[in-house]
Amino acid sequence: MKAETSLPAGSEILVLEDDLRLRRRLAAFLRDQGCEVSEAANLAEARRLLASAHFDFAIADLNLPDGDLFEILREGLVPETTLLVVMTAFGGIKTAVEAMRLGAGDYLSKPFEPEELPLAFLRCRQQRRTERREESLRGEAATGAGKELLFGRSLQALSAQLQALFAAEQRLQRGLPPVLIEGETGTGKTVLARWIHAHGPRAAMPFVPVNCAALPDTLAESELFGHERGAFTDAKQARVGLLEAADGGTLFLDEVGALSPAAQAKLLVAVEEGRIRRLGGTKEIVVDVRIIAANNQPLARLVAEGRFRADLMQRLHLLLFTLPALRERGPDILELARHMLASTARRHRLPCPALSASGERRLLSHPWPGNLRELAHEIERAMIFSPPGAPLDFASLAGPAEPMQADPALPAWRNPSWRLPESGFILDEVVACLVKEALRETDGNLSAAARRLGVTREFLRYRLKEGGENPST
Closest to 224 (Cα-Cα) out of 327, 162, 154, 293: 293
Q: Is residue 410 part of a domain?
A: no
Chain centroid offset of residue 250 CA: 10
Most confident of 3-7, 71-75, 226-230: 71-75
Could you write out the DSSP letters of every residue in 327-378? GGSTTHHHHHHHHHHHHHHHHHT---PPBPHHHHHHHHH---TTHHHHHHHH
* CATH number reported for the structural domain that contains residue 439 in this entry: 1.10.10
The total of other beta-carbon atoms located within 10 Å of residue 233's CB is 6
Query: Per-residue confidence at 278, pLDDT binned at 50, 70, 90?
Result: confident
Q: Are 61 and 69 in contact (CB under 8 A)?
A: yes
Percent of the chain with pLDDT over 90: 27
Distance CA 451, CA 456 (A): 7
Residue 472 — pLDDT band, cuts 50, 70, 90?
low
In a domain, 411, yes or no: no
Q: Are 158 and 323 in contact (CB under 8 A)?
A: yes
Residue range 304-351, pLDDT digits in tens: 999 999 999 999 998 899 998 998 888 888 988 988 888 888 888 888
Shared domain for 99 and 150, answered yes or no, is no
Please give the residue range of the domain that contains residue 173.
145-322
169 and 237 within one domain: yes
Q: Has residue 137 been placed in a domain?
A: no
Q: Can you tell me the distance from the alpha carbon of 272 to that of 275, in angstroms, rounded to the nearest whole number?
A: 8
Q: Counting beta carbons within 10 angstroms of the beta carbon of residue 218, is it exposed (0 to 12), middle (13 to 18) or buried (19 or more)?
A: exposed
Q: Rounded to an integer, what distance in angstroms lies between the CA atom of residue 219 and that of residue 214?
A: 10
* Cβ-proximal residues to 102 (8 Å cutoff; 6+ apart), any chain: 70, 73, 74
pLDDT tens digits along 238-265: 677 888 888 888 999 999 999 999 999 9
Q: Are residues 260 and 167 in the same domain?
A: yes
Q: Distances in Å between the alpha carbon of 254 and those of 8, 153, 158, 315? A: 26, 26, 19, 16
**Chain centre distance of CA 424:** 39
Quote the pLDDT of residue 136. Answer: 43
Kindly report the CATH number assigned to the domain that includes residue 155. Answer: 3.40.50.300
For 167-183, write each residue's pLDDT tens digit. 777 777 667 889 999 99
Residue 250 burial (C-beta neighbours within 10 Å; 0-12, 13-18, 19+): buried
Measured distance CA(37)–CA(12) in Å, rounded: 6
What is the per-residue DSSP string for 240-274?
Answer: --HHHHTTTSEEEEETGGGS-HHHHHHHHHHHHHS
pTM, 2 dp? 0.56
SS3 state at 320: strand
Task: Answer for the pair 49, 14: CB distance below 8 angstroms, yes or no.
Answer: yes
- Where is the domain boundary, 322, 347, 375? 322
| Same domain for 318 and 331 | no
First to last CA, the chain: 67
Lowest mean pLDDT among 63-77, 83-97, 196-210, 333-347: 83-97
In a domain, 7, yes or no: no
**Residue 406 within any structural domain of the chain:** no
Beta strand 83-88 with 285-286 is unpaired
- The confidence score (pLDDT) of residue 404 equals 47
- Whether the CB-CB separation of 211 and 251 falls below 8 Å is answered with no
* CA 392 – CA 354 distance, rounded (Å): 6
- Which of 385, 404, 434 terminates a domain? The answer is 385
Do residues 308 and 163 share a domain? Answer: yes
429 and 443 belong to one structural domain: yes
219 and 294 in a common domain = yes
- Count up the domains in the chain and report the number: 4
Residue 241: left (phi > 0), alpha (psi -120 to 50), or beta? beta
* DSSP calls for 275-300: EE--BT----EE---EEEEEESS-HH
The reply to whether 169 and 304 lie within a common domain is yes
Indicate if the alpha-carbon torsion angle 7, 8, 10, 11 is positive or negative.
Answer: negative
The reply to whether 179 falls in a domain is yes
C-beta separation of 283 from 277 below 8 A: yes
CATH of the domain at 54: 3.40.50.2300
Q: Which of 241, 258, 289, 221 is CA-nearest to residue 2?
A: 289
Round to whole Å and give the CA distance between 67 and 79: 20
Please indicate, yes or no, if residue 374 is contained in any of the structural domains: yes
Of the pLDDT bands very low, low, confident and very high (cuts 50, 70, 90), residue 145 is very low
Q: Are residues 337 and 435 in the same domain?
A: no
pLDDT at 62 over 70: yes
The average pLDDT across 261-278 equals 92
Give the DSSP per-residue string, 367-418. Answer: --TTHHHHHHHHHHHHHHHSPTTPPB--TTSSS-SSPPPP-TTS-GGGSTT-
Instruction: Reply yes or no on whether the pLDDT at 416 is more than 90.
Output: no
Clarify whether residues 317 and 342 are in a common domain: no
Look up the CATH number of the domain holding residue 343: 1.10.8.60
Question: Are residues 271 and 308 both part of a single domain?
Answer: yes
Question: Which of 322, 340, 368 is the C-terminal boundary of a domain?
Answer: 322
Inside any domain, residue 415: no
223 & 335 share domain: no
